[in-house]
Structure 1
Amino acid sequence: MTDAQWALIEPCCPRRATPQAGAGDPRKHPRRLVLDAIFYLVTGGIAWAALPHDFPPHQTVYGLFRRWVRAGSWAQIHDALRDLVRVYEGRDPAPTAAIIDSASVRGADTVPTRSRGYDAGKKVNGRKRHIAVDTGGLLLAVVITVAGIQDRDGAHRLLTALRTRFSTVGHIWADGGYAGRLVRWAHAVLAFGVEVVKRTDDLAGFQVLPRRWVVERTFAWISKRRRCVRDYETLPEHHEAMVHLSMIMTMSRRLARTGDW
């Protein structure tokens, strides 16, 4: 990462903690170098043991990654950067509207059977990402499930997480897969107004649909990092952390280029 990116990320990092036995001691290595190793892995899609020798030992790097997953630190860093981006763009840090969607991701052989499933519609065996983004495409909430779960069922967990984190969000845009009882449940239980943006059936081929294209672009941002193109994580919470890391890299680069933060 550049000096400007590190200046943005360093204040958001948690304080150093006493390392767990056998996990490596990150205090022996500059924290910036450990984070560089994690970013390198997320970008290149390599295995932890394949990290180049220029970086700290892979046990140390993975140990820090795992501890920060358990502490929720990646989500905290992500949320702090998202708020900075929204303020820089002249918006309030608290969003008032969101767009939701899901995408199935193929799972590698490192994904256990108990946390993977088969999406018959997309013919994908793996996991499914359910995400909510603001009107600019910044990530607000993410939920990881087996790929076989219906979008409506996964959206119950996603919208609950969104309401827990943001009391200001009142309006949701979604595609036709979320129509029906979910719309009524979201309004009655969570006080969300869900607007379904349907595709016009009389037009063939690709269409840019209002609002829905924003969340599709976010999926593209996430998949720019090879570790997120396919799911290699044994634990769903590690896959969620990879999604946060991809967006952390995207937002820190965006802010670092401006130099006005």
Structure 2
Amino acid sequence: MWTTANRGKYKRDGLRYPSDLTDAEWALVEPLIPPAKRGGRRREVNVREVVNGLLYVLSTGCQWRAVPKDLPAKSTLFDYFDLWNWDGTLGRLHDELYVKCREAMDREASPTACIIDSQSVKSAEKGGSASTRAGMMRARRSRARSATSSSIR
């Protein structure tokens, strides 16, 4: 809930972009980022800026080619996104931060209840995926309707 106390807590005025990580947020994320591979060249990119770039793309919905110039290059961002998606880093980040958020609110790490709206129940009663598939298919036309009538004299 947006109370006076919460507004100050989530204020992001001092950041370059609203999607950038604060120092406290980075302290939570940094241990979850895998270290650079051993051997080969040293990692030259600032990983915090990579995370800021990925959060910028996710929060604004911009195209990779529209990433601002003060963030890492679009190819660098996409390569890290692809790597972290492939090796499971993004999933681990999500799961770990989700658990920490729930625990910070004095809730259990995993929810014990769920809410199903009436629309979901209706589609499940009708067969769920089959009814969804039928709704996504193009309607068939009747041949009789589209045929030219020969009853004209």
Q: Give 1 or 2 for the bigger CA radius of gyration.
A: 2
Deviations 1:155-211 (A, max 9, x none): xxxxxxxxxxxxxxxxxx97333443779xxxxxxxxxxxxxxxxxxxxxxxxxxxx
Give the aligned partner of residue 77 of structure 1.
Answer: 93
Equivalences for 1:143-162 in 2 at 5 Å? Answer: none
Structure 1 residue 62 displacement after superposition: 0.5
Inter-partner Cα distance in structure 2 for 1:17 and 1:100 = 44
- Closer, same or farther: CA 59–26 of 1 in aligned 2, 3 Å: farther
Deviations 1:4-48 (A, max 9, x none): 111111122223337xxxxxx892111001111111111222111
Structure 1 residue 56 displacement after superposition: 1.5
Structure 2 counterpart of 1:14, which letter? P
Counterpart among 172, 176, 201 of residue 121 in structure 2: 176
Deviations 1:127-167 (A, max 9, x none): xxxxxxxxxxxxxxxxxxxxxxxxxxxxxxxxxxxxxxxxx
Inter-partner Cα distance in structure 1 for 2:125 and 2:52 = 45
TM-score by length of 1: 0.36
Asked if 2 retains the 8 angstrom alpha-carbon contact of 1:38 and 1:61, the reply is yes
Counterpart among 87, 106, 130 of residue 90 in structure 1: 106
- Closer, same or farther: CA 38–92 of 1 in aligned 2, 3 Å: same
Segments of 4+ moved more than 6 angstroms: none
Inter-partner Cα distance in structure 1 for 2:116 and 2:87 = 26
- Closer, same or farther: CA 82–39 of 1 in aligned 2, 3 Å: same
- Closer, same or farther: CA 60–100 of 1 in aligned 2, 3 Å: farther
Structure 2 spans left out of the alignment, 5+ residues: 1-20, 129-153
Give the aligned partner of residue 42 of structure 1.
Answer: 58
Structure 1 counterpart of 2:53, which letter? A
Deviations 1:64-109 (A, max 9, x none): 00011111211110110111111111122133223467xxxxxxxx
Inter-partner Cα distance in structure 2 for 1:75 and 1:99 = 24
Aligned length: 106
Over the aligned positions, Cα root-mean-square deviation in angstroms equals 2.7
Inter-partner Cα distance in structure 2 for 1:33 and 1:69 = 17
- More helix per residue: 1 or 2? 2
Which structure has more relative contact order (CA 8 Å, sep 6+)? It is 1
Structure 1 spans left out of the alignment, 5+ residues: 19-24, 102-172, 184-261
Name the SS of the counterpart of 2:43 in structure 1: helix
Equivalences for 1:112-261 in 2 at 5 Å? Answer: 175-180=120-125
TM-score by length of 2: 0.58
